[in-house]
Amino acid sequence: MGYNINSSPRIYPRFTRKSFPWGDAVSFIVQYQNDNTNYVPNNGMMSYEVQGVTHDHRYTVRARFGITHPRLDEFGPKVRDYSDDTFKPDSPMRRDRDYVLVERCPDTAFQPSLEDIDAMLQTLKPGVSR
């Protein structure tokens, strides 16, 4: 999974503030898309992203992980697309069953689990070299 240089984020469910031994961060689930589509969460495009800063403000941390959920479709013809602004609170996308699933299911429902990813991020030591 590379960085999508000419793309923009489409969804931000599960926006959460986090504290780690190295600093503070936010985490969210996002899909980057290169066009004007607004696809519901799907296993072909979904990522878990953590962005933070160390306590001393010397380093930023950005980590991005491809994740899946067993009840979501792979990207393809079954994945619904909404033409509205998905950032509006009353957006039909936000009422879509797959969006609601991603927003409300336990962290352990994803593969890899968000808990396991966060546990790995706990071990980071920004600025420390061997």
| Domain-embedded: residue 40 | yes
Using DSSP's 3-state secondary structure scheme, residue 5 falls into coil
pLDDT for res 1: 47
| Domain-embedded: residue 2 | no
Q: Which domain holds residue 79?
A: 8-121
pLDDT band at residue 41, thresholds of 50, 70 and 90?
very high
pLDDT band at residue 3, thresholds of 50, 70 and 90?
low
| Domain-embedded: residue 128 | no
| Domain-embedded: residue 126 | no
Domain count, the chain: 1
| Contacts with 117 (C-beta within 8 Å, 6 or more apart), sequence order | 48, 50, 63, 65, 67
Q: What are phi and psi of 99, to 5 degrees?
A: -65, -45
Q: Is the pLDDT of residue 26 over 90?
A: yes
